[in-house]
Structure 1
Amino acid sequence: METSYSLTNIDETEKFCNDNGIEFSCVRHPPVPTVETMIEEVKFPDKEVVLAKNLFLKDKKKKTLYLLVAKHDTVVDFKALAKFLKTGSSNIRGGDSDKLEEILKVKGGSINLFCILNDNEKKVQLLVDKSLYGQEWLGIHPMQNDATFAISGADMEKVITLSNHEPQVINFSELVVLSDTPKYKQQKKEKKPKKEKKAKDEDLHELGITISREDDFSLWYSQVITKSEMIEYYDVSGCYILRPWSYGIWERVQRFLDGLFKQSGVENSYFPIFVTEKALTKEEDHLEGFAPEVAWVTKSGKTDMKEPIAIRPTSETIMYPAFAKWVQSHRDLPILLNQWTNIVRWEFKHPTPFIRTREFLWQEGHTAHATKDEATKFVYEILECYAKTYEEMYSVPVIRGIKSRGETFAGADFTSTVELFVPSNGRGIQGATSHYLGQNFSKMFDLWFENEDKKKDFAHQTSWGFTTRSIGAMIMIHGDNKGLVLPPKVAQVQVVIVPITNKDNHDEILESADKVFATLKGSGIRVKIDDRKNYKPGWKFNHWEVKGVPIRLEIGKKDIENSEVRVVRRFDGKKFQLSTEGISQSLLDELDKIQAGMYDKAVKERDDRMKNAATWDDFMSELNQRNLILTPWCDQESCEDNVKERSKEESKQAENAGEEVLTGSAKTLCKPISQPELAEGTKCFACDSNATSTALWGRSY
C-alpha cells in the first residue's frame, strides 16, 4: 500500500525527513521567490551546495501538468522540451497557480521537489535534470522560500521513490529546437530515413551543436563532448565515462609521451592506490595542499576500519618510503620511475569534464638524484616532453614558465609549468607541471645515500604529471560551432569516406569506396567508410563534422568517372577534388598540413590576445577584455593575494555597471622562462615595490 503525504511547511518537511532517514542541514534567509535571488541569498558555510530550480508547467494541448526540477543554471528550452515529451504541441507554459496550490499544496515562488509528495493521485509528471543525480549536496526549499535544506543526491532519489512517481530524467544539454536551428533548415529538404525507427527518433542528436561558443561557452562545451561521443555522464558527481572516441586520443598521447620518457631513461612501474594516514600526514606542507581533496576509506563493508586509508591524490608519500629501501649508495641513483594510473581528488569546485574532475587519468613521474643540478636539469627535460606533446600531438602552443610561490606545488622548492590559453572564453589552463622537490621529501622519508666522498647525503627529487585535462584543453582551443576539430595525430579516425549513392549506382560506388579504403588503410591512415543505409549523406556529413574527423572524402558518380574524390577539410572547410592516383601520399601530406595549420592558427589566436600592462588600470582594462597580460612584478606572495582580491571585486563592479566582462580573480599563470630584460627602477604594476621579473596573469580554470 502506497503511503500518502501532506507537507505544507518547514516543520512538516523536517518531520518527513527525520521519519525517513533523510539527512539535511537548514539555512534560514529572506524569502527568495526566484532562482536568481536564491543564488544571492542562500549560502551554506560548510558545504558546496548545488541549488535546484523548480518549474510548474502545463502542456496546453493535452492539459498535462509537470513539475520540473533542475540545476539552477540549466537552460530550459520549452519548444525542445515539448518535442522531447511528444506533447503534440510546442506550447508548454507555466501551470495555473490554483492547480499548483490544489495539487502540490505550495505557492508560486516556493515550488520544490518535496511538493511532489503531495500529489497522491499522480496528476503531475515529474521531470528531473540528469545533472542532479550524483551531486554531493542539493539545495531545496522545505515548502517555503525563506529556508533551504541541503540534502544529498542519494536522498533526492529517496524522496522521488517515496513520492511513488516515476521521473523522466532529461539531459537538457541534448535538447534542441529543431525549427530554429540553421542545420535543420539546411537538412529540412531531406526526408528522414524511414527504414529504422532509431534513425527517426535520434533527430535531437542529428542536428549537431546548437549553442555557439560566443553565446554560452559552458553549454557549447557540454554539447560538444556529449554529441561527439567523447563523454558520458555518470551518477557520481565529478566522475565521467571516457568513451572510445576520447580514450583513443589518450592512448595515442600516452604512447607518444611514454616514448619520450623512455628516451630520458624513465621506466614504468605501479604503486598501490591507497596510502596510510601516517604516511600522508608526514610532510605537512604537502598534506595541507591536498587535505580538502583527499578521499578516505573508513569502512570495509559495515565494519569500521582500524585507521582510515586515503585514496591517492598523488603518490609522493606512497613511493618514497620504497625509494628509501632501495637506495644506499650514489651507485643506486638516479631512480627514474613513472606510472600510468588514475587519481582521486574530491574537489568541491564546479566539475568540468576533462578539465576538473574528481577522478582522472594521468601519468606521474618520480625521480631521485645525487645532485641538485642533475635533478633540476631533469625537471626541465620533462617539461620539454610535455611541451612537445601539446605542440606536436595536440597542435596546441604552450608557454613554458615557473609558478609563483603561492602557486607552487605543495612541498616543492619550485614548480615549472606549461600554460595554455582558450581564446574563446579568455581563460588559461595549466597544461602540465614538473616540480623540483629539493630534499624536502627525502629528509622526511629518510631517503639518503652515501656519496662519492663517503658522506651521508639526502637525495634531490622531482615529480611531474600530465593528465586527461589535456583533452579538454584541446577541445576548447580547437573546437568550433560545428563541434570537435581534431588534430590528425590524435584522431581516432583521420579520414572518413562517405559514398554518395542511389539505387542505380549503389554497388559501383561502394566498390570504388572500398578500393580507396583499402589503399588508405594499407598506407597506415586511420580510415573509416560510412556505408550506413539508414542515413542520408547530409546527415553523415554533419555527424562526422561534430566528431571532428580531419578529412572527409565524398565519392559519387562523377567522381568515379573522373577517377577523383571530393576532399573536405574539417579544420578550415577547404574543399577540392583529388585524383585517386597516389591518393595515399596526397592525403598523408594533407594531414601534415592540417596538423601544422591548426598549430599556427592557435599560436596566432593566443598571441593576438597576449597584452602588456605596466599599471593597474591597464592591467584591469586588458583583463576585462579576456586577455593574457604580461606585467612587471615584485614576486611577493602578498602582492599576488591582493591582486586576486582587487581583480575579483573590480570585475564584479564592472559587471554590475553593465559591462560584459569575465568575472573572477586573476592570478599568476607563470613567470615565463624566456624573460625580457627589465629596465632599472621598473616598478611592480600592482604595488610600489621594485619589479624583479615579468609575470603572465589571467583568469584560469
Structure 2
Amino acid sequence: MSKEDIGITVTKKDDFSEWYTQVVLKAKLADYAPVKGLIVLRPDGYSIWESLRSTFDKKFAKNGIRNGFLPILIPESLLGKEQKHFAGFNPEVFWVTHSGTNEIGDKLALRPTSETLAYTMYAKWIQSWRDLPLKINFWNTALRAEIKATKPFLRTSEFLWQEGHTVHTSQEEAEEEVIKILEIYKNSVEEELAIPVTVGKKSEKEKFVGAVYTTTMESIMPDGKALQMGTSHFLGQNFSKPFEVKFADKDNVEHFAWQTSWGVSWRLIGAMIMVHGDDKGLVLPPKVAPIQVVIVPIYKNDEGKEKVLPKVEEIKNKLELKEIRVHVDNREGLSPGYKFNDWELKGVPLRIEIGPKDIEKESVVIAKRYNCEKTNLNFTDIERIVIILEEIQKEMLKNAQEQSKKNSINISDYSEFKSKIEGGGFLNAPWCGKSKCEEKIKEETGADIRVIPFGSENLNLKCIYCQEQSQSIPIFARGY
C-alpha cells in the first residue's frame, strides 16, 4: 500500500471541507453509517469522547451533580405542554407511529432534547425544599432530522451529548448554576482539547427556545467559521409552571421552582480536528489522545530485532508506570517510513524511534506530532516524556490562541463589515441591541451574533447598522 492510499490528498488551506472529512475517515475516528445523516463512532473516536466524559463527570460530581438515564421516546401529548419550546424542534423531529403493523395512538418522538420528559419526572420527585437543589446529568443521544448538509461530528441526525437539568429554590441559585457550568465547560475545553473559547450570552433572537437567556461558549475555526461549543441556559420558571415543578418552602408555602439546562456534544471532537489538524492528518492534544506515545522499533534482521525489542519493552514499562498511554508498533512487513506516516495521520502526540544505532548511543529519537520537531533523548531521561507531553499540551493551546486572535477583527464601519465577513473570522462590532438590526445584518451578510461576551457592554459607540447608540460589542460571524 502506497502513502497516497492512506494519506490526506488535499490541503487544509485549499479545500477545508474535504480535508476535514478525509481526516475523520482516514484517521479512523468515525465512518458513515448505512442511514443518511448518521455516523458510526470507531474506537479512537469513542476513546476521545470517553476522555471528555470522564473529565466532565469528575467536575460535575464536585458540583453535586449525579448521572441518570432517560428513555429515548417521548409522547406527543407530553411535548405539547410547552408548545413554544417544542415548536423550535418540530421540523427536525423523528416520529414513531407504528408498533409492528399496528398504529399507536399517541405518536412518539425520538428525543430531540429531554426537557419535557425530565421535567415530567421532576414534578413527581420534588415535593419540598428538602428535595432541592436537584441536579442530574444525562449522557445520551439526541436525534434531529438534519436538513442541512451533514458533516461528521458537526451536523448529524443523531449525536452523542450530555444534557444537564437542575432545579432550585431561588432565581439567584439557579443563575449561579448557569455560570458554574459555563466555567466548567470553558476550563475543560481549553485544558483538555487546547481550544480557546469566548464566553458570554446569546442574543434574544439566538437564545434557546424556552430559556429566559442562554449563555454560550464559541470558537473560531481555521476556515473562519464560528462553532458553538456548548450552552448553559437559565430557564427561569418557563418550564416549572407548565410541568408543575413545585416545592413547599419551610413555611409550607408552595412555589414554582427555578431551573437550568446545559449541554455539550461530540462536536467538540470536530472542533479539535479542525483547530489542530494539518496536511498530514489528525493532531491530538496529549490529554485526550487514545495513544499518547507510539514506539516504532527499527531493525533489518533478527540480530537487530533481538537487540532492540528488549529495550523497547523496558521503555514501554517505564512509561506505563507513569500512567502514559503507550503503544509499540511491531507490525511486520511494513517500513518505518510507512509507520511514521500512519501514526502522523492518526495524530499520536509523540513518536519514539529506536534502532541498533540508537542503542549504541544510549538514546532514542523523539518526534513531536504538533510541530514535527525531532530531537534525541537519552535513556536516562525517558521519564521526562511526562513533562514533554505537558509542554505539548500547553503549546497547542498557545498556538490555537494565537490563531484565534488573528481571526478576530474590530469593526466599526458597515461597508468594511460586509467586506471582511467574506473572509470569515470573528467580527467585533457595536450593536444597538435591537433585533431588527441583528436580522438585517444576518439577511445582508449571513453573519449571526454568535456571542455577546461578558463585559462587552458599551454605550459610547454607534451601532454598526443603524448608527444609533450602541449597547454592547458582540461577536458576529458566519457559523456551522
Report what 1:205 is aligned to.
Answer: 5
Report what 2:256 is aligned to.
Answer: 458
For 2:220 and 2:149, how far apart are their aligned partners in 1?
A: 20
Report what 2:468 is aligned to.
Answer: 689
Q: Which amino acid aligns with 2:409?
A: K
Report what 2:425 is aligned to.
Answer: 627
Report what 2:453 is aligned to.
Answer: 672
Report what 2:478 is aligned to.
Answer: 699
Deviation of 1:636 (Å): 1.6
For 1:458 and 1:495, how far apart are their aligned partners in 2?
A: 53
For 2:99 and 2:425, how far apart are their aligned partners in 1?
A: 50
Q: Which amino acid aligns with 1:327?
A: I
For 2:262 and 2:189, how far apart are their aligned partners in 1?
A: 15
Greater radius of gyration (CA): 1
Secondary structure of 2:81's counterpart equals coil
For 2:146 and 2:169, how far apart are their aligned partners in 1?
A: 36
Question: Contact 1:368 / 1:461 at 8 angstroms: preserved in 2?
Answer: yes
Secondary structure of 1:205's counterpart equals helix
Secondary structure of 1:420's counterpart equals strand
Report what 1:541 is aligned to.
Answer: 340
Compare 530-539 and 513-522 and name the one that shifted more: 513-522
For 1:254 and 1:210, how far apart are their aligned partners in 2?
A: 33
Deviation of 1:204 (Å): 5.1
Deviation of 1:438 (Å): 0.5
Kindly indicate whether residue 321 of structure 2 is the aligned counterpart of residue 522 of structure 1: yes
Report what 1:293 is aligned to.
Answer: 92
For 2:246 and 2:412, how far apart are their aligned partners in 1?
A: 47
For 1:238 and 1:515, how far apart are their aligned partners in 2?
A: 46
Scaled by the length of structure 1, what TM-score is found? 0.67
For 1:477 and 1:537, how far apart are their aligned partners in 2?
A: 28
| 1:676–1:406 Cα change, 3 Å | closer
Which of 607, 620, 631 is residue 405 of structure 2 equivalent to? Answer: 607
Report what 1:222 is aligned to.
Answer: 21
Which of 172, 188, 208 is residue 373 of structure 1 equivalent to? Answer: 172
Kindly indicate whether residue 145 of structure 2 is the aligned counterpart of residue 346 of structure 1: yes
Deviation of 1:342 (Å): 0.9
Kindly indicate whether residue 38 of structure 2 is the aligned counterpart of residue 257 of structure 1: no
Scaled by the length of structure 2, what TM-score is found? 0.98
Report what 1:475 is aligned to.
Answer: 273
Question: Contact 2:441 / 2:447 at 8 angstroms: preserved in 1?
Answer: yes
Report what 2:244 is aligned to.
Answer: 446
Q: Which amino acid aligns with 1:508?
A: K
| 1:564–1:676 Cα change, 3 Å | farther
Q: Which amino acid aligns with 1:491?
A: A
For 2:263 and 2:351, how far apart are their aligned partners in 1?
A: 35
Report what 2:311 is aligned to.
Answer: 512
Aligned length: 479
Q: Which amino acid aligns with 1:305?
A: I
Report what 2:33 is aligned to.
Answer: 234
Question: Contact 2:220 / 2:425 at 8 angstroms: preserved in 1?
Answer: no
| 1:692–1:617 Cα change, 3 Å | same
Whose relative contact order is higher, 1 or 2, with alpha carbons under 8 Å and at least 6 apart? 2
Deviation sequence 1:250-274 (CA, Å, 0-9, x none): 0011000010000000011111111
Deviation sequence 1:36-76 (CA, Å, 0-9, x none): xxxxxxxxxxxxxxxxxxxxxxxxxxxxxxxxxxxxxxxxx
Identity %: 43
For 2:182 and 2:99, how far apart are their aligned partners in 1?
A: 40
Which of 432, 435, 450 is residue 233 of structure 2 equivalent to? Answer: 435
For 2:78 and 2:228, how far apart are their aligned partners in 1?
A: 28
Question: Contact 2:452 / 2:474 at 8 angstroms: preserved in 1?
Answer: yes
For 2:280 and 2:457, how far apart are their aligned partners in 1?
A: 40
Q: Which amino acid aligns with 2:115?
A: E
| 1:203–1:595 Cα change, 3 Å | closer
Report what 1:190 is aligned to.
Answer: none
Which of 126, 129, 137 is residue 327 of structure 1 equivalent to? Answer: 126
For 1:247 and 1:347, how far apart are their aligned partners in 2?
A: 22
Secondary structure of 1:235's counterpart equals coil
Deviation sequence 1:135-188 (CA, Å, 0-9, x none): xxxxxxxxxxxxxxxxxxxxxxxxxxxxxxxxxxxxxxxxxxxxxxxxxxxxxx
Contiguous gaps of at least 5 residues in structure 2: none
Q: Which amino acid aligns with 2:5?
A: H
For 1:674 and 1:221, how far apart are their aligned partners in 2?
A: 34
Question: Contact 2:220 / 2:407 at 8 angstroms: preserved in 1?
Answer: no
Deviation of 1:507 (Å): 1.7
Deviation of 1:357 (Å): 0.8
Question: Contact 2:133 / 2:166 at 8 angstroms: preserved in 1?
Answer: yes
Report what 1:33 is aligned to.
Answer: none
Question: Contact 1:431 / 1:466 at 8 angstroms: preserved in 2?
Answer: yes
Report what 1:382 is aligned to.
Answer: 181
For 1:575 and 1:590, how far apart are their aligned partners in 2?
A: 12
Deviation of 1:275 (Å): 0.7
Q: Which amino acid aligns with 2:139?
A: W
Question: Contact 1:205 / 1:227 at 8 angstroms: preserved in 2?
Answer: no
Question: Contact 2:240 / 2:256 at 8 angstroms: preserved in 1?
Answer: yes
Secondary structure of 2:474's counterpart equals strand
